[in-house]
Structure 1
Amino acid sequence: MPPQTNAPFTVLAIYKFAELPDHEALKAPLAAFCCAREIRGTLILAPEGLNGTVAGTREAIAELVSHLLTDGAYAGRFVGAEIKYASAETMPFLRMKVRTKPEIVTLRAPEANPARRVGTYVAPQAWNGLIAEPDVRVIDTRNDYEVRLGRFAGAEDPATTSFTDFKAYVETHLDPERDRKIAMYCTGGIRCEKASAYLLEKGFEAVYHLKGGILAYLETVPEAESLWQGECFVFDERVAVGHGLLVGEASLCRACRMPLTAADRAHPDYVENLSCPHCAGDARKAASAAERQRQVELARHAGIAHLGEDAAADAQRRKAEKAELRARSAAQSTGTRQRS
């Protein structure tokens, strides 16, 4: 069971590399299971496994985890999945989506198969000691906008805009003859696990990766002993978390979707919900953001949801109300004609 909290929602992050040739057939039943329990978020199914983050009541999330680990449709392939829980005061997702993709984390390197071979897992409690060793190169495998919010002290930023760029970084910056020990980390463990498989295929021998990623580290390692600096970006409405997985101070630019620090929000180019230092001057994004904010304000004044499943439910309710009103009007009109 997820840990007991007073928060109304439990957030589940889960992934597992596993042989899943029947991933297409699993999509619809899994989506139905989640929707029936009002779970929201995104789950990705691919030939290489499962990945995703969802949220719901504590009981609903517990049912989902049990379903994935024990239901015969999965034949035990998700047993041993990397699972992390967090709590949220509000629902952090707009809708439920189950997607099928070629990979659960896109690297486009078929030789990297974590279900066959990966680097050495390092528990969060042992991570500080490893990265303090002088002959270890510590590499952040996340994208540049994520690294901006926080990183481990001394870690290298490959400055990638997508995970597929990591291959070029390895080609130009790393050498298996020179770099004898490499330690990698990412948000939840999935990227660095696949990156470790890739490095092993390229001839690197001592490859380590943080088990459970930054999230497991922030949850496990006391802040007083932590080597983490800043906040950790997460892909939901929480935007970022800190030690103890508490919601951080970062926000999201609604125009360009970049995470924003306090310094970003203090910049002259920052206009709430309209622009930030990363997208100011982009007329197309500014116009799109202005229209989006107008729709948000209209919805707020009308007392209805603007996005997601709540918006769809409101739209369906309004449609039903209009249909009922038309039916009443038609009935009244018929009655008037009959009396006359």
Structure 2
Amino acid sequence: MTSIVNLAAYRFFTLNAPAEWRTPIRARCDELGLRGTILLAPEGINLFVAGTRAAADAFTHWLRTDPLFAGQLVDLQFKESLSAKQPFRRMLVRLKKEIITMHSPAIQPGQARAPEVSAQTLKKWLDRGQDDNGRPVVMLDTRNGFEIDVGTFADALDYRLTKFSEFPATIEAHREDFTGKTVVSFCTGGIRCEKAALHMQNIGIESVYQLDGGILKYFEEVGGAHYNGDCFVFDQRTALNPELKPTAMLQCFGCRAVLTPEDQRSPYYVPGEHCAHCYSRQAAA
């Protein structure tokens, strides 16, 4: 029986005093019994929290209506999924320089955005292999390599990033991959692909879109069409399938590798300690 509501949301906007929001947000989350992580930075807010249905509804209403936020979160859009148990161990509200680190100060999504494409429109493009203007469509995965290994769109470009700050240099080295094509950047929930699309647009790559709401919203609105596998998430659920339900995958406490059910049957797997991948890496060192 599913009893926990998982909320994910972000918004780029100018937040002049992030520290003034930190204590009241933490207090409200504690009052409602929510757990998760909320990031506050001069460029906006990024949150992943989970709790009861009543707590989730009360929190979203508070963010949108409390005078503390001066109306800046009225249009904050939340993605929801359900789970049988709480996927977070504790509640954190952190101050950061960026809500998603790219190290590119010129990229300010709160002031300008690249065009977005809805899940329904993207599916239509992928069904026929071209966009509405007849240009071939290429999907660009902006996530880290280990996330992509859990699942991604068919034939998506995967540059094996280990962190998002590698994205600008990687794209510069592969500009020819996008010539004459429509590029759709995507990620888990939309935050990375929003910055990615804006960066590509700013350096002169033509016909760039971001997938509105990322993979999770795509799953919610059109299911798993053109997508292979599951979607990695940064909580104890590890991965969600196209029905937005947790899978049997786990993540190793030691090396953070994503473990399939077969991996979990290995004699080297000890929950909370290590797995076969840990031993392989030690042997190769």
Look up the match of 2:137. 136
Give me the whole-angstrom Cα distance separating, in 1, the residues matched to 2:181 and 2:216. Answer: 27
Choose 1 or 2 for highest CA Rg: 1
For 2:22 and 2:183, the matched residues in 1 are separated by: 37
Alignment correspondent of 2:274: 275
The separation in 1 between residues aligned to 2:235 and 2:255, in whole angstroms, is: 15
State whether structure 2 residue 211 is matched by structure 1 residue 231.
no
Deviation at 1:230, TM superposition (A): 0.4
**Aligned equivalents of 1:106 and 1:31: distance in 2?**
22
SS of the aligned residue for 1:244 comes to coil
The answer for unaligned runs of 5 or more in structure 1 is: 1-5, 284-340
SS in 2 for 1:243: coil
What's the counterpart of residue 15 of structure 1?
10
Task: Output aligned runs, 1:200-215, within 5 Å.
Answer: 200-215=201-216
* 150-159 vs 255-264, which moves further: 255-264
Deviation track 1:123-157 (CA, whole Å, cap 9, x = no partner) reads: 11111233422622211000000000000001011
Measured against aligned partners, the alpha-carbon deviations of 1:68-116 in whole angstroms (never above 9, x if no partner) come to 1111111111222231011111111111110010000000101111112
Query: Among 57, 60, 73, which residue is 1:65 paired with?
Result: 60
- Give the partner amino acid of 1:96: M
Are residues 54 and 176 of structure 1, via their aligned partners in 2, closer, same or farther at CA, if it must alter by over 3 Å? same
Q: Counterpart in 1 of 2:154?
A: 153
In structure 2, what is the Cα distance between the partners aligned to 1:190 and 1:82?
Answer: 12
1:196 to partner: Cα distance: 1.1
Structure 1 pair 179/111, CA: closer, same or farther in 2 (3 Å)? farther
- TM-aligned CA distance change 1:204 to 1:254, over 3 Å: same
Give CA-to-partner distance per residue, 1:232-260, whole Å, 9 cap, x none. Answer: 00011111000220111211112112212
Letter in 1 for 2:191: I
The answer on whether the counterparts of 1:252 and 1:259 sit within 8 Å (CA) in structure 2 is yes
Instruction: Name the SS of the counterpart of 2:209 in structure 1.
Output: strand
TM-score (norm 1): 0.77
1:122 to partner: Cα distance? 1.1
- The letter of the residue matching 2:253 is R
Deviations 1:33-70 (A, max 9, x none): 11111111000010010101001111111111111111
Q: Which amino acid aligns with 1:139?
A: L
Secondary structure of the equivalent of 2:279? coil
- Answer whether contact 1:158 1:169 (CA < 8 A) is retained: yes
**Number of residue pairs matched by the alignment:** 277
Cα distance in 2 for residues equivalent to 1:186 and 1:194: 11
**Which residue is equivalent to 2:258?**
259
Q: CA separation of 1:277/1:126 partners in 2, compared to 1, >3 Å: closer, same or farther?
A: farther
Q: Give the deviation of 1:181 after TM superposition.
A: 2.1
Label 1:277 to 1:172 Cα distance change in 2 as closer, same or farther (>3 A).
farther
Q: Which amino acid aligns with 1:248?
A: T
